[in-house]
Structure 1
C-alpha cells in the first residue's frame, strides 16, 4: 500500500556507540521508521532522497517506508553470479596480468563464500574449475568442451554460492577478506599478493555499489588489517660491483657446450645492472632503441616491455604481453644513459647473436621472446658458479631483479642526485628513497662525524674559561 502522508525529521547523531553513527528518522502513514548510517554524508544522501520523493508526490510504501525511487534493486542471486558479471565488464579493458590477478582473487573469495552443501568437489577439482574456467573469458578459438568433473564443480558452486546481499553482514565480509590471505591450496599468500587481492576485491565491491546491488562498500565496516608489506629493499640482496662482474662472467659459462645458453643472456643481465632496467624492459629492448657509439656513453630509449603473462590472459595466443612502460602511457619514452662498459657488451652481443625480426636484441633459440622462467633458471646456475655455498644459500642476488636493486642503490651511494636516479629508473623520488633507504652505505658514519664535530671532542669540549 502507498501513502503520501510522510514526515521527515533532521538527522540525529547516535553517540551511544563507540563509533558515532547517524540516524535518519521519518514517518509514513503514522508509522515511525529509521535507518542508521556510518557517516553523515551517507545519511544526508538518503534523507535528501526521501525529501525529493516526498516533494515530487511519490507514494511511500507503508511496509518498507520507501518510495519507488529509493527501493533497492533486487541483488544478484549469488556472489558467484555477480563475480562473473564483473569479469565480463572488466576483462576486455584489463591488461593480461590484471586479468590473472582478478581471476586469482575471485577464485579465492568464491571458494570461501559457499554454503555447507552436499556434493562439494575435491579441493583440486574446485581449484581447477575456478581458476581455469569460472573467471576466464575465452575467445571463440579457445572455447572447448568443459570436462564433466569441471562442469559438475561449477554447477555445485552456482548452487552453493552465498547471496551477494550477505556481504552486507560484517561476518561474511570478513570471511571473504580472510579468504584472500590464502592460496587456493590453503597455504598462506605473500603479503604483496594479499594487498593486490584486496585492491581487486574492493573494486568488485565498488562496482556492486555502482550498480545498486549494495548500498555501500561493506569492506569499510570491517576492522580488518592486511599483512604488512616490506616497502624497503633488503640490503642483503644487493651485489657489490665485484660480485656483479663475477656473476656476469659466470653467466658466459652456463650451458657453454649446449647452445651457449648463458652467453646469450650476458648482455640481458648487464642491462639490468649497468642500466638499471627492469627485466621486462630488458627483454623488450630493440636494436633501434639503442645509441651505441664507438666511444663514450650510450643511450637507451625505452618504450616497450614484454612481461610474461600466459596465453590464457593475453587473449592473443602469445605468452608475453606487449605494452608500454610501467605507470606510463603506451607511447611515452624513457631515455637511460648507459656507461661505456654496457655499450661494449651490447655491441659485442649484436655482432655475435644478431637480432630478432622485430629488432629485439634478446631472444630464445627459436627467435621468440625470452621467457622469465628461462632466464631465471640460467641466473640460478650462474649464482652457483660465481658465489660461495654460503652466499648461494643467502638472499644475495636471489632474483634477476636484484641486479636493478644493486644498480639504483650503487648510483645513490655514489652521490648521484636522487632526481636523476629516479628519472633513469622510471620511479618517483619518494618511491626511490623509501625503497632504497636501507641500502645506502656510509650515511650513519657520516652522520656520526657531523654530530661529533657539532658537540666537540672529549679533549676540548668547551674552549671557554671558568670565571
Structure 2
C-alpha cells in the first residue's frame, strides 16, 4: 500500500523533554507520525529528507510513514532468499523442463551474486551442486540435506548480496557478462545466454512486484545478448532417399534398434517432435488400407485379422491420420511432480486439452503397422518404450541414430551436419512440404507452429526461383 497524500509540519520543541526535545511531525493518508531528535540540526536534516521525497513525487508507506525508497534500502532480503521465493511461486504451474531451466539459470546467477570477501567460501562446484539439488528445488526442501551441501547453503545465506544492491548497473552488467561464459571458460551458446538472461530479467521483475526495488535494472544497462540463429541450417536437411536409407540402416541394426524405426519415421513423415512421438498411443492412430485380394477397405490395418474368405495378405497401405494429444518430454526425476524422469503434458504452444490432427502417408502407415506386428504396444497403448518398458529415453534413440548414420552415410556425410540429430528429421519434413508447394498455413498447422515462426525458421530451406532470378541479373549485366 502506497500513498502520495503527505503533510509535513514545521519543527517544534518540547520543553518537557531534555534528551531529545526537537520534534518532527508529519502525516501520511491522515495517519500522524512524529520523531524526536537531540539537536535542531538533526531534526532539520530529517525533515528535509521527507520534504525532498514528497516534492519528488515519491510514494510513502502509510504503515511506517517513511518514503518507500527508504524501506527498500533497509530491506535485508538477499538474492538467494528472493530466488527461492521466485522458484516457489513459479513451481506449481511450470512444466518440469521449465523448472529445471529456471533452476539452472538461477544457480549460475546466485553463485555470481555473493560477497567475494566472505570467509569460508565453498568451491563453486559445491555451491552449484547444493543450489541445483537442494537450495532451489522446492520438492526437496523437506528432505534432510547432506552435511557438505547444508554447509554450502548456510554460507550462501549470509554471503548472498541483498536484492537492493542489484539496483546498480555495474552489478547487473557483471551478472550478464557471467552468463556468456561456460564453466570451462569457453563462450556459452547464444540460446543459453538468452534463456538465462530472460530468467534473470523475470526474477528482477518479481522483485519489482514485491517492491524490493523500484524498477528493473536490466532496462538501464546497455547490454546486448548474442544473436541466436533464427533459421535452420539447410545442410542438416536430408532428402527422401537419404531418409529411407537411414531408416533401413536402423532396421538392419537388429530387433532392439528396429523398435525405434517407426519412431524416426514419425519425425520425418509426420513432422512430429521427438517428445510427441515418444507419447504416441495406439488410440491416436487411424491406419488405413485396402486388401488387394478381396478389395476390402480398412480404417485400422493393425486390427485386421484373416477371415474365412480372405487372409488379407496383400495390403495396400493408404493415407492415415494421427490425432496428437500429448507429449512426453524427459526432464529428470528432480523436477517432475511424481518423481518420474518423463512428464506427460499437452501439446507445445497449445491448451492442455487441445489436439493436432496430422495426415500421414502410406509409408508411415506401413511402418506403424509393422511396429505393432513385430513389437506390439505397451499396456497404456504407447508405441515406443524403453528397454524395460518405461518411457523411451533420448539416450536410447540417439545411440541407434548415430550408428545408423555411420552405416548409411558416406564418411564425409557422417562428419557433416546432415541429419546429425533425430530432430533434424522434423526439419527435413517441413522443408519437403514447403518445397512441394503445400501452403505455409497447412505446413504450420501440421507442425504445430505459427506461420510467422515457420517462415522465419525455414526461410533458408525453400528452393525455387534461383534460375529465374539469376537470368534477370545476367541480362542486366549484359
TMscore range, shorter length: 0.7 to 0.9
Between structure 1 and structure 2, the one with the greater Rg is 2
1:245-287: CA deviations, max 9, x gaps? 1100000122x2xxx2211110000010111111111111111
Q: How has the CA–CA distance of structure 1 residues 73 and 186 changed in structure 2, closer, same or farther, with 3 Å as cutoff?
A: same
RMSD: 2.8
State the distance in 1 between where 2:442 and 2:67 align.
Answer: 60
- Please state how far the C-alpha of 1:350 moved relative to its aligned partner: 0.8
1:3 is matched with which residue? 8
Task: Note if 1:287 corresponds to 2:282.
Answer: yes
Residue 382 of structure 1, CA deviation: 0.7
- Indicate conservation of the 8 Å contact 1:103/1:131, yes or no: yes
Query: Does the 8 Å contact 1:113/1:175 carry over to 2?
Result: no
- Mark the CA change 1:88 to 1:30 in structure 2 (over 3 Å): closer, same or farther: closer
Match of 2:213 in 1: 214
In 1, distance between residues paired with 2:168 and 2:69? Answer: 24
Which secondary structure state, in structure 2, belongs to the residue aligned with residue 261 of structure 1?
Answer: helix
1:256-295 aligned within 5 A = 256=254, 260-294=255-289, 295=317
Contact 1:59-1:67 at 8 Å conserved across structures:
no
Query: Cα distance, 1:188 vs. partner?
Result: 3.2
Gap change, CA 1:30 and 1:113, over 3 Å in 2: closer
Quote how far apart the aligned CAs of 1:387 are. Answer: 0.9
The answer (yes or no) to whether the contact 1:281–1:305 under 8 Å persists in 2 is yes
Gaps of 5+ in 1: 7-26, 36-42, 459-467
Structure-2 residue corresponding to 1:113: 113
Q: Which residue of 1 aligns with 2:79?
A: 79
Q: Secondary structure of 1:84's partner? A: helix
Q: 1:160 to 1:350 in 2, by over 3 A?
A: same
Residue 14 (structure 2) aligns with: none
**Aligned equivalents of 2:159, 2:46: Cα separation in 1:** 38
Unpaired runs of at least 5, structure 2: 1-6, 11-24, 26-44, 290-316
List aligned pairs for 1:174-323, cutoff 5 A.
174-184=173-183, 186-254=185-253, 256=254, 260-294=255-289, 295-323=317-345
Distance 1:48 1:75, change over 3 A: closer
* Contact preservation (8 Å) 1:272, 1:403: yes
Residues 123-142 of structure 1 mapped to structure 2, 5 A cutoff: 123-138=124-139
Q: Counterpart in 1 of 2:57?
A: 47
Equivalent residue, structure 2, for 1:19: none
Q: Is the alpha carbon distance of 1:264 and 1:282 closer, same or farther for their aligned partners in structure 2, counting shifts above 3 Å?
A: same
- 2 CA distance for matches of 1:184 and 1:158? 23
Instruction: Indicate conservation of the 8 Å contact 2:59/2:67, yes or no.
Output: no
C-alpha distance in 2 between matches for 1:193 and 1:3: 52
Cα gap change, 1:112 to 1:98, in 2 (>3 Å): same
Q: Secondary structure at the match of 2:359?
A: strand
Flag the 1:4–1:34 CA change in 2: closer, same or farther, 3 A.
closer
Matched pairs, number: 412
Match of 1:167 in 2: 166
Q: Distance in 2 between the 1:127 and 1:72 partners?
A: 29
SS at match of 2:321: strand
| CA separation of 1:31 and 1:407: change in aligned 2, threshold 3 A | closer
Compared CA separation, residues 315 and 73, structure 1 to 2 (3 A): farther
Identify if the C-alpha distance between structure 1 residues 59 and 392 changes in structure 2 by more than 3 Å, giving closer, same or farther: closer
Distance 1:321 1:30 in 2: 59
* Cα offsets for 1:121-152 (capped at 9, x unmatched): 12322221121111111258xx5432211111
Partner of 2:93: 93
Trace 1:252-401 onto structure 2 (pairs within 5 A).
Answer: 252-254=251-253, 256=254, 260-294=255-289, 295-401=317-423
What secondary structure is seen at the aligned counterpart in 2 of 1:138? Answer: helix
Q: TM-score, normalised by structure 1?
A: 0.82
Give the secondary structure class of the aligned counterpart of 2:365: helix
In 2: Cα distance, 1:367 partner to 1:290 partner: 20
Report the secondary structure of 2:455's partner residue: helix
Cα gap change, 1:302 to 1:124, in 2 (>3 Å): same
Alignment CA distance shift 1:190-1:344 (3 Å): same
In the alignment, the residues of structure 2 paired with residue 47 and residue 162 of structure 1 have an alpha-carbon distance, to the nearest angstrom, of: 29
- TM-score of the superposed pair, with normalisation by structure 2: 0.80
Inter-partner Cα distance in structure 2 for 1:48 and 1:307: 48
Q: Name the CA shift for 1:72/1:264 in 2 (closer, same or farther; >3 Å).
A: same
Partner Cα separation in structure 1 for residue 104 and residue 250 of structure 2:
35
8 Å CA contact retained: 2:134, 2:140? no
Please state how far the C-alpha of 1:429 moved relative to its aligned partner. 1.1
Cα distance in 2 for partners of 1:59, 1:145 equals 39
SS in 2 for 1:300: strand
